[in-house]
Amino acid sequence: MFYYVVHIYLVHAVAVALVQGGELRRINVVTDPGSIPPWYGLSLPGVYLTWAIVVLAMYPLCRWFARLKQERDDWWLGYM
């Protein structure tokens, strides 16, 4: 559960940084299909590289959280 929740925010941050160039924009493909800029998106190798970066970044976080769950007995840790 920890991996699932944290990776959503991490992937969003990486997407904003890499795909959108750090600029938050709303692109509405439904009402305006021509609104997608030519620079928007990643190639398939770029997607795989981004996936690998996210998985490698999540590994130390998951190890830390597993250690935290072993050391502490807080009630809320049972839900993650």
Cβ atoms of residues 40 and 27 within 8 Å: yes
Which is nearest to 13 in space by CA: 26, 24, 27, 28?
24
Kindly report, residue by residue over 2-60, the tens digit of the pLDDT.
899 899 999 888 877 777 666 666 667 677 777 777 777 778 898 898 889 899 999 99
Q: For residue 37, what pLDDT is reported?
A: 72
With 0.75 as the threshold, say if the pTM is over it.
no
- Domain extents in the chain: 2-79
Reported as a pLDDT band with limits 50, 70 and 90, residue 61 is: very high
* Mean pLDDT, residues 73-78: 80
Q: For residue 21, what pLDDT is reported?
A: 64
Cβ atoms of residues 65 and 80 within 8 Å: yes
Question: Quick one: tokens of 25?
Answer: 């924009």
